Amino acid sequence: MKQVGRLLFLMMILLGACRQPTERLEGYEIHGLDVSHYQEVIDWDAVMMQDIDFVFIKATEGQSMKDHRFKRNWKVLGEKNVRRGAYHFFRPTISAAAQAENYIEFVPLCVGDLAPVLDVEVLDKTNPKTLRKGMKTWLNKVEAAYHIRPIIYTNLNFYEDYLKGHLDDYPLWIARYNNRPPSLSDQQKWHFWQYGNRGQLLGIEGHVDFNVFYGDSTDLAKFCLGSD
């Protein structure tokens, strides 16, 4: 019984830690956020006063879903001194070509904007080979449309289980909620790191994801349209 009590105590500590606000990391020059309709209406004037260098916005999901906050967020950020980008949440059982079209038709990337992002987090009861084939279709179509190589977003465990050793030519944005940077077992380099999902900023109600970029502003520009 004492052992069970200790286990319950440790679980409570871990649960409490997960609920703690995410503190901004030191030691990185470039800081960013990612947002979607879950953040509701954002006061971007207030947010931009807090040293934010880039923002990724959810644009689309699957074949037809379009984030209803995207257009406003995209327009307002286009008027700010910040790098903006748009991501698509991938559904492996739905036509990858149709998902690419959903994104391409909805997202008006301009010179200076960050490369498109493919957010891959679920198998949806398919298999890893089918997942990767669909990802490649989406990535190829979107790269052809915007003339820049997209970024792949995923969490560390999903990468290790399903993506390691595949699609190695694409920049990586890795989610790992920890103070220690992601370490990929195949030695691939991450470029963006989502290190917490309980960040708090003036101008945003509730929590927001905190990210950093591995590099400086000159390096970040290389991941933007018109960087050649």
Coil, strand or helix: which one is 182? coil
Which two structure tokens, joined as six digits, stand for 200?
A: 């708090």
Q: So what's the pLDDT on residue 59?
A: 98
Superfamily of the domain at 2-221: Glycosidases (3.20.20.80)
Catalytic residue among 40, 121, 168, 219: 121
pLDDT per position as a tens digit, 162-180: 999 999 999 999 999 999 9
- Distance between CA atoms of residues 149 and 171, nearest Å: 8
Residue 7 — pLDDT band, cuts 50, 70, 90? Answer: low
Residue 87 — pLDDT band, cuts 50, 70, 90? Answer: very high
- Taking the alpha carbons at both ends of the chain, their separation in whole angstroms is 64
Q: So what's the pLDDT on residue 14?
A: 46
Map out the domains of the chain as residue ranges: 2-221
Worst-scoring range by mean pLDDT, 5-14, 48-57, 106-115? 5-14
Q: So what's the pLDDT on residue 13?
A: 45
Q: So what's the pLDDT on residue 225?
A: 96
Worst-scoring range by mean pLDDT, 11-20, 82-91, 108-117, 145-154? 11-20
Which two structure tokens, joined as six digits, stand for 164?
A: 């390691």
Which residues, in sequence order, are CB contacts of 153 under 8 Å at separation 6+? 87, 117, 118, 119, 120, 173, 174, 175, 192, 194
Catalytic residue among 34, 53, 101, 113: 34
205 a catalytic residue: no
Which residues, in sequence order, are CB contacts of 53 under 8 Å at separation 6+? 30, 31, 32, 82, 83, 213, 217, 220
Q: How many CB atoms lie within 10 A of CB 183?
A: 10
Q: So what's the pLDDT on residue 21?
A: 87
pLDDT per position as a tens digit, 12-61: 444 454 568 899 999 999 999 999 999 999 999 999 999 999 999 999 99
